[in-house]
Amino acid sequence: MNPIQSYIATHKTRFLDELITLLKIPSISADPNYSNAVLTVASALKDDLERAGCTSVNLYTTEGYPIIYGEKIISSELPTVLVYGHYDVQPPDPVALWDSPPFEPIIKTTDKHPEGAIFARGACDDKGQLFMHVKALELMVANNTLPCNVKFMIEGEEEIGSKNLSTFIEEHKEMLKNDVILISDTGMIANNIPSITTGLRGLSYVEVEVTGPNRDLHSGLYGGAVANPINILTKMIASLHDTDQRITIPGFYDNVEILSKEERAEMAKAPFNLDAYKDALNIEAVYGEKGYTTNERNAIRPTLDVNGIWGGYIGEGAKTVIPSKAYAKISMRLVPNQDWKTITQQFTTHFNNIAPKGVTVKVTPHHGGQGYVTPVDSLGYIAASKAYATTFGKTPIPQRSGGSIPIVALFEEVLKSKTILMGFGLDSDAIHSPNEHFGVWNFLKGIETIPYFYEYFTELSKK
C-alpha cells in the first residue's frame, strides 16, 4: 500500500461516519420548510473544510443560501485548483417509494456495489462526491503532499438553478482566480470502465398555464361547447414532437452542434449494452429521435420533456368537471451552441401561436443555462486521465453526459477556466429518484484518485 492507500485504509470508517452525519441533515433547497437544515449543512461543511486544512473559510451570505468559500494557498508560484460542489439536495419525494428513510443513511450491498453503498438523498448528488474532495484535501495536508493551491466554493442552490452564484462569481473574480476547476457531480460508465464527463447539456425550464373558462364548469352542462384546458394543453404538448420525435418549435435546431461522422464513431466505441439498459428500466423498447442511438439521444441531441402536468379533479372518486386551468412543467435539454434564452423565447412564441381561440396561455420561464464541452487536450483533462489510469489501471473514456450543471458554462465565461468533471457515481445510483445511493468503493476510489489529479496537474503546469 502506498501512503494514499494507507491513509484511506486507516481513516475510512471515520470518513464514512462523517459523510453519514452530513447526509442525515435534509438540506432540501426547493422547500422553504427545510431552510434551517440547509443552513446547518452549510455550517457543518465550513467546519469540515477547516478541519481538513483550509484557512479562512467563510460563509458568504446571498439572497438565498450561503456560499462556502475556503482555501489553502501554499505559494503564488504554484497552480490553483478551484473545487466546486453543492450541499443542497433534491426533495426525496415520493418518500413512500424509498426502502429506507431518505435521511437515515444505511449501507447495503447491491449488484453494482458488492462492497456496499450508502443509501440516502444526496449520497451521490452531491454530498458524497463533494465530501471526497474534502477528505482528499485532509489526506494531502496530513501526508504533506499537497502540491499546489486549492480553493473550495460550495453552494446550496444548485438544485434550484444556482440563482445567486453568478453574482457571487462576478463579484469575487479575484478571490476565485484559478488554473482549473474541478467538479465531482457527474457519473462514470461502470466501476471497471472509468470515464470522464466531457460535456453537459444546457437547460431551459418553463412552466405553462392554459386558461379556459373563468371557473370550473359542470362537464355535462358545458361539455362539448367550450375548450377544456386539459384537452387543449395535452394536444399542444403532443404537437411539440413530430413522428420522428423531432421537436417542432420553429428555429429550435438552428444552432445545434452537428457532430462529424468521426466524432459519432468515436462516441459509439463507449461500451453500451442496450438490453441491460432496457432491463434496468423494465422497458420493452427505447424511444427517441429517429436516426440517433440511445447514447446520442441522451447526450448530443436536444430534448423536450414534460416533467409534471396537472389540473382538474385528481381527488378520490369522480367529479364531473371541466377545469378552468391546466398546467405543465417542461424542460428542454440543450446542446452546445443553443442559447437557452433564445430557446425559451422560441418556445414561448410558439406555444402562444399554437393555442386555439377559447383559451389563453401563459409561459413562465424558471431557470436555465448553457451546455458545456471540455476539450480532451487541456492540461486538466490530461491530468485527470492520468489520475484515473493510476488508480483504476485503465485509461478513462471521454463521455458526454445528458445532465446539466449550468454554472459550468458561466465559470468559463467569467473566470476563463476549463472545468474538469471527475464524477464517480453510476447512472444506476438513482440520483433525484427514490433510493439514491453512492458506492462505498466509489467514494473511497474518488478520495484515492483526486490527489493524483493535483499531482499531475501541478507537474504538467510546470512544463
Q: Which residues bind ligand BES (CB under 6 A)?
A: 125-126, 158-159, 161, 185-187, 200, 203, 367, 401, 403-406, 431
Task: Residue 385: name its binding partner from Mn ion, ligand BES, none (Cβ under 5 to 8 Å by kind).
Answer: none
The residues near 255 (Cβ < 8 Å, ≥ 6 apart) are 337, 338, 339, 342
DSSP percent split of the chain into helix, strand, coil, nearest 5: 35, 20, 40
Instruction: Provide, rounded to whole angstroms, the least separation between the CB of residue 401 and ligand BES.
Output: 4
Task: Residue 401: name its binding partner from Mn ion, ligand BES, none (Cβ under 5 to 8 Å by kind).
Answer: ligand BES
Task: Residue 155: name its binding partner from Mn ion, ligand BES, none (Cβ under 5 to 8 Å by kind).
Answer: none
Closer by beta carbon to ligand BES, 141 or else 189: 189
Q: Which residue type does 292 have?
A: Y
Instruction: Provide, rounded to whole angstroms, the least separation between the CB of residue 95 and ligand BES.
Output: 19
Residue with cell 467538479: 183
CB of 245 within 8 A of CB of 290? yes
Instruction: Provide, rounded to whole angstroms, the least separation between the CB of residue 432 and ligand BES.
Output: 6
CA nearest to 186, candidates 136, 132, 129: 129
Residue with cell 473545487: 83
Nearest-angstrom CA–CA distance, 40 and 103? 14
Coil/strand/helix, residue 152: strand
Coil/strand/helix, residue 387: helix
Closer by beta carbon to Mn ion, 126 or else 138: 126
CB of 236 within 8 A of CB of 351? yes
Instruction: Provide, rounded to whole angstroms, the least separation between the CB of residue 369 and ligand BES.
Output: 6
Closer by beta carbon to ligand BES, 196 or else 200: 200
Task: Residue 387: name its binding partner from Mn ion, ligand BES, none (Cβ under 5 to 8 Å by kind).
Answer: none
Task: Residue 71: name its binding partner from Mn ion, ligand BES, none (Cβ under 5 to 8 Å by kind).
Answer: none
Sign of CA dihedral 381, 132, 99, 37: negative
**For the chain, how far is it from start to end, CA to CA, in angstroms?**
29
Q: State the DSSP code for 284.
A: S
Closer by beta carbon to ligand BES, 7 or else 103: 103
Instruction: Provide, rounded to whole angstroms, the least separation between the CB of residue 413 and ligand BES.
Output: 16
CA angle 329, 435, 397 (to 5 degrees): 85
Closer by beta carbon to Mn ion, 156 or else 396: 156
Closer by beta carbon to ligand BES, 90 or else 211: 90
Instruction: Provide, rounded to whole angstroms, the least separation between the CB of residue 23 and ligand BES.
Output: 15
Closer by beta carbon to Mn ion, 424 or else 452: 424
**Residue 222, C-alpha cell as written in the block:** 358545458
Closest residue to ligand BES in the complex (CB): 403
Nearest-angstrom CA–CA distance, 101 and 288? 34
CB of 46 within 8 A of CB of 59? yes
Helices (H) and strands (E) in the chain, counts: 13, 18
Closer by beta carbon to Mn ion, 185 or else 448: 185
Task: Residue 406: name its binding partner from ligand BES, Mn ion, none (Cβ under 5 to 8 Å by kind).
Answer: ligand BES
Task: Residue 66: name its binding partner from Mn ion, ligand BES, none (Cβ under 5 to 8 Å by kind).
Answer: none
**Residue 337, C-alpha cell as written in the block:** 451552441
Task: Residue 186: name its binding partner from Mn ion, ligand BES, none (Cβ under 5 to 8 Å by kind).
Answer: ligand BES
Gyration radius from the chain CA atoms? 23
Q: Which residue type does 409 have?
A: A
Closer by beta carbon to ligand BES, 403 or else 446: 403
Nearest-angstrom CA–CA distance, 150 and 73? 6
Instruction: Provide, rounded to whole angstroms, the least separation between the CB of residue 90 and Mn ion.
Output: 6
Closer by beta carbon to ligand BES, 186 or else 458: 186
Instruction: Provide, rounded to whole angstroms, the least separation between the CB of residue 368 and ligand BES.
Output: 8
Asked, as a colleague might, if the bond just before 254 is cis with ω within 30 of 0, I would say no
Task: Residue 346: name its binding partner from Mn ion, ligand BES, none (Cβ under 5 to 8 Å by kind).
Answer: none
Instruction: Provide, rounded to whole angstroms, the least separation between the CB of residue 453 and ligand BES.
Output: 18
The residues near 330 (Cβ < 8 Å, ≥ 6 apart) are 205, 206, 207, 208, 237, 304, 305, 306, 307, 347
Kindly list the residues in this chain that would bind Mn ion in the complex (CB under 5 A).
125-126, 185
Instruction: Provide, rounded to whole angstroms, the least separation between the CB of residue 316 and ligand BES.
Output: 33
Task: Residue 404: name its binding partner from Mn ion, ligand BES, none (Cβ under 5 to 8 Å by kind).
Answer: ligand BES
